[in-house]
Structure 1
Amino acid sequence: MFWLAINSWSGGQFVQLMIIAIWPSYARLPNAVPASQGATTSDFLSFFIFWVIQLPFIFIHPSKLKLVFNIKAAVVPVVAIGTLIWAVKIAGPQAGPILRASRNRAPAGKLRFIAFCTSATAVQGTWATLSLNIGDFSRYCRSPRSNWIQIFAFPLINTTVSLCAAISATCAYAVYNEDLYQPYDILAKWNTSPGGRAAMFLGSLAWALSNVTNNITANSISAANDLCSLAPKHVNIKRGQLVAVTVGVWAFVPWKILASAENFLAFMSSYSIVLAPIAMLMVIDFYVVKKKKFNIYEMYKPFGIYRYTKGWNWRAYVALACTVAPNMPGMVHAIDPTTEIGNIKYVYMVSNLVAYAIVIPVYLLLNKIWPAPETIVDEPVHDIIDDKDEFDSHSDISPAQSGFLDEKAV
């Protein structure tokens, strides 16, 4: 839900730019929001408009939005590259020197290592989320092999976009002396002429479309699946998405998180201390402990072989606690730099590496000493069908509601 909220607020900023491009007076809308919120009336109104536009899409199955995804895939790279070209052009002769100067101004020695580790941890935080919920939407692929291309596509696309953003922001800083680290910050600088406003409108439209598609596929469906697992008798995919889009988007106060680049990086690094080890636990359990052999049918049985101890795999929770504990002081310091914790703050700067180094041996050791033999199967079972109707992976209902599970047992 965090990324659902962040993307929705960003989408609202793009809506604001589109409205300003048509009616410039919208930028001067009287503000009635307290300064402590870090946002204005026009910000919240635009946020609400984007939310209203986005809401109907959750009632459309992702498989029926292929045209929208294709349009987004075509126009967003054009806008990103166009923004890069614009930034280099306005920097003019300064472009080369400013890029070289930014490299020369990079910290050296210990400070460089700290800056690298902090940035790498923040970036890994975004991937930790995706690594956990990618199965929620990759299940719509035609075959399991369709996923393998993402190994190359995701790093290539994200690296390219990050490079365009870094160069654009650096060149824009040379002209405006501002840190423009968000696409809408740069697009707002195009509001200088009729042609510039037209470009601002089209660019904002492309980014807003991108935010809608990302929210529907990667964010709202993932949140909905989690809610379905918590209450399968009462929540289906659509209801879960509705809860995520209505409650989650507003509850995360994204305008506070995006108030500055420092806040954003601190938040991304903080939640990754939990998500990264969870992702690694899933990998180790699948490849090492279970050796890629699962009985899928048993996963949908409330009292099946994967129930562990009253529904809890305590080994995973112990390993997770051992991993999170060393990083907690660093997280507190990152959120409140006035809190002095000594040199342990450096552990947090490589929190993901620390997490992997702890969670892997601890989880394997616990499974060695206290194994769960009932969860180990000789051969994988993927295709057993219940006497009731087979659960459709493209359906919008939860397994319990489909009849795949025995609801009385649930």
Structure 2
Amino acid sequence: MPLISAKEVENTKSHVRARFMSAKAWELPKQPSTFAPEGTWTNIDNDVTPVQRRIWGHWALLGYWMSDILSAQSWEGASTVISGGLTYREAVLCLIMGTVIIAIPISFNGSIGAKLRVPYPVVARASFGYVFARVPVIIRMVTALFWHAIQTYAGSTAMTQVIRAIWPSYLNIPNHLPESAGITTQQMVSHFIFWTVQLPFLLTPPHKLRWFFVFKGVFVTAAAVGTVIGMCKLAGGTGDIWNQKPQYTGPTRSWMILSYMTSLTGGWATMATNIPDYTRYLRKPRGIWLQAVTVPVICTFIGVLGIITTSASKVLYGQYIWDPLEVAGHWDGPGGRAAAFFVGLAWVVAQIGVNVSANVISFANDLTSLCPRYVNIRRGSVIATIIGGWVMVPWKIVYSATSLINFMGALSIFLSPIAAILIADFWVIKHQAIDIPALYRPNSRYHYTGGCNWRAAVGMIVSLGPNLPGLVNAVNPSIAIGGAIKIYDFNYLWGFSSAFFVYLFLSYVLPAPDTLVPMTIHDDGDVYVGEAVMEEEAVALPEKQV
């Protein structure tokens, strides 16, 4: 057999390099059934959800929300309230009120996805315009990236507990990284292992993950309840946190409650915006209103478990410990390490579930809408987890960038007007009647003026203006903003309500009649009334119609 010459090897390398570096080589096949006109690219993940992918029932939706809410961050939800000088009563009140408020836009916007069967980036085109819709998409995409980075590193701390429970000497691995790296060798190993374990779940199509969400809900709930029971048994009770007195009274106390309630509301602002990305997979749209009860109940439940465990930790360890993984880190001996393994594994599953349900799929859907020629959900997930898990150096975000984390928490001021405008437009202005094929056509009825619905733009500006000083103060507390801080104390409520009413006012005074249709249009020439189509009829329709 003749040897291959060096020139032939080099030519082969050049050919392979050219192929993979060519944009053409990365193009996805254009879907033949798409509504998009010739020359406008899309793909199956951006199109109307086909019938065979609408497989989520009520249990899957419940499992989804348990997956999204049951996380270490939700466990610690009451910590900020109590640490700030209020009592457990105010903490529970803030949890209940904050999540009840956010459950309203979650339910209304979730219903849009369940009725129209399209993802959030496509839904946004009806309200913001075909081109301007990219702005709310990019805002949500950036938010998802940052939270994916933070949640991934939180998952690596859970992985540390899993490994430590099996090999206690794991914590003593010598560090070979410089201090400037911001992470030790042991922490880097945990981060890499967690990231690797998480990757297959991120690459699984969302409609196939319903049973993973259910499993996570059951498993993490069992671990959380087990933690509470075990800690209370060891402590001989539930501790003394119930006897704490509030450090503030009068108007100061009231403003603090409002501020913390708003903070807890804003924590779910991301999901209130892009929930159509998931509800599009429901079999029956009517099941969507389950969220109105599910979200507040689960959030309050996990928050109360966190309060009880923290109170018991004071009895056992001499201080209040809010982090469940730090609590597990105190468990030694064969029995203690077995419990730490179980709890650590549960929080590993919890963080994977949160990243799948709240961050990576959201980013992937958004990027798919911006670059449908080259990106589908799977490719978008890979891009998200490489950037969020490594490029953004998440351990530095967590440990050294308090102002950045405050900024991320403040992003709800950008998300609240988006959620409000989506609801106002779909439910009030358009009366749930949308021309679905037009959502995929750049120059259709949803082009508005130059691709932008200026009413939505004005609504966002009016909403953002009074909140911006508070955002500056959140990033840099040394900058005094005077009385403007009072508006920022209820930033989500202001952002949502102002955008909602400004958009309604402008849409009634200066309407866009071309965007209004009497009934929902599901396909060219085929019109169905109100709730889209009866579920029984929808299953029988050809895929291109639904």
TM-score normalized by the length of structure 2: 0.65
Aligned residues: 384
Residue 318 of structure 1 aligns with an amino acid whose one-letter code is V
Structure 2 equivalent of residue 397 of structure 1: none
Residue 310 of structure 2 aligns with an amino acid whose one-letter code is A
Q: Say if 2:403 and 2:474, in contact at 8 Å, map to a contact too.
A: no
2:293 aligned residue (149, 152, 157): 152
Compared with structure 1, are the counterparts of its residues 18 and 114 closer, same or farther at alpha carbon in structure 2 (3 Å cutoff)?
A: same
Per-residue CA deviations over 1:207-261 (Å, capped at 9, x if unaligned) read 1112223322332111111001111111111111111111133455543454499
Structure 2 equivalent of residue 100 of structure 1: 242
Tell me the secondary structure at the aligned position of residue 189 of structure 1: coil
Structure 1 equivalent of residue 165 of structure 2: 21
Alignment partners' CA distance in 1, 2:511 and 2:268: 30
Alignment partners' CA distance in 2, 1:378 and 1:327: 37
1:195 aligned residue (335, 352, 357): 335
2:497 aligned residue (357, 363, 372): 357
Q: CA deviation at 1:308?
A: 1.4
* Residue 211 of structure 1 pairs with residue 351 of structure 2: yes
* Residue 273 of structure 1 pairs with residue 417 of structure 2: no
Q: Say if 1:8 and 1:51, in contact at 8 Å, map to a contact too.
A: yes
Residue 311 of structure 2 aligns with an amino acid whose one-letter code is T
Structure 1 equivalent of residue 199 of structure 2: 55
1:41 aligned residue (177, 180, 185): 185
* Residue 314 of structure 1 pairs with residue 454 of structure 2: yes
Structure 1 equivalent of residue 434 of structure 2: 294
Residue 58 of structure 1 aligns with an amino acid whose one-letter code is L
Q: CA RMSD in A?
A: 2.6
Mean Cα deviation higher: 158-167 or 33-42: 33-42
Alignment partners' CA distance in 2, 1:87 and 1:158: 21
Structure 2 equivalent of residue 255 of structure 1: 395
Alignment partners' CA distance in 2, 1:261 and 1:105: 30
1:324 aligned residue (439, 455, 464): 464
Structure 1 equivalent of residue 261 of structure 2: 120
Alignment partners' CA distance in 1, 2:396 and 2:465: 26
Tell me the secondary structure at the aligned position of residue 520 of structure 2: coil
Structure 1 equivalent of residue 24 of structure 2: none
Tell me the secondary structure at the aligned position of residue 149 of structure 1: helix
* Residue 379 of structure 1 pairs with residue 523 of structure 2: no
Compared with structure 1, are the counterparts of its residues 328 and 10 closer, same or farther at alpha carbon in structure 2 (3 Å cutoff)?
A: same
Mean Cα deviation higher: 195-204 or 23-32: 23-32
Alignment partners' CA distance in 1, 2:318 and 2:177: 28
Alignment partners' CA distance in 1, 2:412 and 2:174: 39
Tell me the secondary structure at the aligned position of residue 311 of structure 1: coil
Per-residue CA deviations over 1:329-382 (Å, capped at 9, x if unaligned) read 112212222222222212111111221332122212222343221111111113
Q: Say if 2:204 and 2:378, in contact at 8 Å, map to a contact too.
A: no
Per-residue CA deviations over 1:140-199 (Å, capped at 9, x if unaligned) read 222212322222222211110111112222332344344533322222122x21111111
Structure 1 equivalent of residue 477 of structure 2: 337
Q: Which runs of 5+ in 1 are unaligned?
A: 387-402, 405-410
Structure 2 equivalent of residue 395 of structure 1: none
2:274 aligned residue (108, 129, 133): 133
Q: Say if 1:33 and 1:39, in contact at 8 Å, map to a contact too.
A: yes
Per-residue CA deviations over 1:117-146 (Å, capped at 9, x if unaligned) read 221122111221111121112222222123
Alignment partners' CA distance in 2, 1:61 and 1:264: 31
Structure 1 equivalent of residue 232 of structure 2: 88
Structure 2 equivalent of residue 390 of structure 1: none
Residue 235 of structure 1 aligns with an amino acid whose one-letter code is V
Q: CA deviation at 1:40?
A: 3.0
Q: CA deviation at 1:200?
A: 0.6
Residue 332 of structure 1 aligns with an amino acid whose one-letter code is V
The 5 Å alignment of 1:167-246 reads: 167-190=308-331, 192-246=332-386
Q: Which runs of 5+ in 2 are unaligned?
A: 1-143, 527-542
Q: CA deviation at 1:99?
A: 2.4
Mean Cα deviation higher: 234-243 or 180-189: 180-189
